[in-house]
Each structure stands twice: as C-alpha cells, then as structure tokens.
Amino acid sequence: MIEVEQVQKSINDYIDNQSFEGKPAELYAPIEYILRQGGKRMRPTLCLLACDLFNGNIDDCMVPAVATEIFHNFTLVHDDIMDQAPLRRGMETVYHKWSSDIALLSGDTMLIKAFQYVLNTKKDYSYEVFAELCKVALEVCEGQQFDLNFETLDNVTLEEYLEMIRLKTAVLLGSVLKIGAIVAGASQENQKAIYDFGINLGMTFQLQDDIFDCYGDVKIFGKMTGGDISDNKKTYLYLKALELANDDDKKILLDLFRMPKGRDEKKIETILNIYDKYNVKNIVTKLMTEYYENSLQNLNSIDIEEERKQILREYAEYLYIRNK
C-alpha cells in the first residue's frame, strides 16, 4: 500500500527532474514555469492510485500520469487567454507574464508534449492510453466551449450546467483513473467502475468549488469569495436560485448577471442574500453529497480486496471534506 503524500512527492520529484527546455526559449520557458508551480497534482495522483489499486507497477504509470498533468496545464494556459486572467495559483499566468501569442503557442506545444509522453509508455498499452487521452481531450474542449457559450446565454438549464462541468472537469478525473487501470491491466468492468468513480468525484469537486467561491473562508480558501458572481458565471447555485425565485428576485438575478464583469460588493451581497433566501447552498451541498456517495458506491462495486480501496476512499473523503 502506498500513501498519497508519497505519491505526490514522487510526481513532483519526477517532474522536477524532467527538462522541458528547448529553442526558442519563448516557447519552452512557459512550460517549465507552469509545470514547476506544483499544485495539488490531483490528476497524476489519481492515475497512480488507480494503477496501485489494481496491483499495477506505479513506476510504469509515471509517464502517462505526467502526460495527464501536462495536458491539464495546457488547458489552464489556453483558458487563461480566453479569461484574460492575470493570476493563477497566486502566480502570474503565462498569458499575462509573456503574451497571448506565446500562451497560445506554448499551450499547443504542451498539448503535443502530453501526447509525446504517452509514446514513452510501454507499447503493450500505449495505444489504449493514447485513445483515452484523445477522447477526453476532445471532451474537455467541448466543456470549455459550452462554458464560453453560457456566458452570453440567459436560459441555461441545470442539466446543461451539469453536463458542462462533467465535460470540463469530471471526465478528465475519470480518464486519468482509467489510464491507471489500463496500465495495471485491469478488466473492462473495473476500468468502467473506476472511471465512473472519477466522474462522480469530479462532479463533487466542481460543485464544492462553486460553493467555496461563494461561502469559502477567505483565510483558508486563499482568495476572495464572490469571484464567480463578479464574472457572471452561471453556476448551479445561480441557476437553482433562478429556478426557485419569485418574479421580483428573478428580475434582480437576471439584471445583475447582465452587468459588465467586475467586482461590485453590493452586487455580491444582493446575490448572496437571494441565494440564502432560497436555501441554495444547502440544495447544492445535498447534490454534491449525492455525487460523493455515488463515487463511494462505484468504488464498492470494484472487484478487488477492500483494503486496497482504502487510500482512494480516503482521497475522495479528503476532497469532499476539504475546506479549500
């Protein structure tokens, strides 16, 4: 059995020992910059934990695990261009530190590098890992495009929102777990179960992020709350409030979310008061808990000794009860 901290450390050590240098420097320096920032390394961690769950050799799994981390960082670099975001993880974004052209091209380079890493996995399963990475990469692009579309749509449904976060966030967690299972040679049924575990965990994670963004403790969350409201992000909280609100409150919600993006304390306070009036936080927390419980059921359904599942169960719990 392995420990999560040990896995995270081995990923960070591995990435620190990789060279992403190359010429021209403008293309490769941003890759080193973003990959050296650390972060939770959630995707490669889940990938290695899934490999270990099915008695695979996690050393064999390190290369595809790192490929998923490079892929994830590619999405961040391109998303930050579209959001014109100056900061991420408390550091300047590539877009802001260099330029949008450089972020575009070095992002492209990271996407290609992610695929190139997969080529360095064992040939026994490199094809399957490649296919999974292609599939999920398309889905993540689709999720991001839906997210962009929602910015200018008034009539997004709750189902459409859930489908968007499934594509934008959850499928990648499902796929990294499945890739770990592929490397370990797990059965199709077990691959499916661990994938579903990741989907449900991803939904839990994203809904919790939405809640934190409104109600997180600034000291622990590390950033000011109300970011999504300032950006007019139509999260589940907003859409649920819109569904439940009376006509007057609905009008306020719609009007305030048509304001130009930007921080406005009065707007944030008004919106949060409406959320409270309709008990929206509890409703979303309940939904999030359902996803969490479904993820545990997926884990239960896996045909392997219970004790091997403990680390993933604890990791899921850690994500569920985290406060940032």
List residues near a second copy by CB under 8 A.
22-24, 26-27, 78, 81-82, 101-102, 104-105, 107-109, 111-113, 115-116, 119, 123, 126-127, 130-131, 134-135, 137-138, 141-142, 144-146, 148-149
Q: How far apart, in whole angstroms, are the C-alpha atoms of residue 114 and residue 175?
A: 14
Nearer to a second copy, 123 or 266 (CB): 123
Minimum distance from residue 203 beta carbon to a second copy (Å): 20
H/E element, 271 = helix 265-277
Minimum distance from residue 141 beta carbon to a second copy (Å): 5
Query: Sign (positive/negative) of CA torsion 267, 269, 275, 277?
Result: negative
* Residue 194 and residue 227 in contact, taking contact as beta carbons nearer than 8 Å: no
Nearer to a second copy, 65 or 137 (CB): 137
Minimum distance from residue 210 beta carbon to a second copy (Å): 21
* Residue 161 and residue 235 in contact, taking contact as beta carbons nearer than 8 Å: yes
Token representation of residue 295: 């993820």
Nearer to a second copy, 2 or 104 (CB): 104
Nearer to a second copy, 99 or 297 (CB): 99
Minimum distance from residue 119 beta carbon to a second copy (Å): 5
Angle value at C-alpha 212, between 274 and 248, nearest 5 degrees: 10
- Rounded to the nearest 10°, the torsion over CA 78, 83, 87, 89 is -60
Nearer to a second copy, 59 or 101 (CB): 101
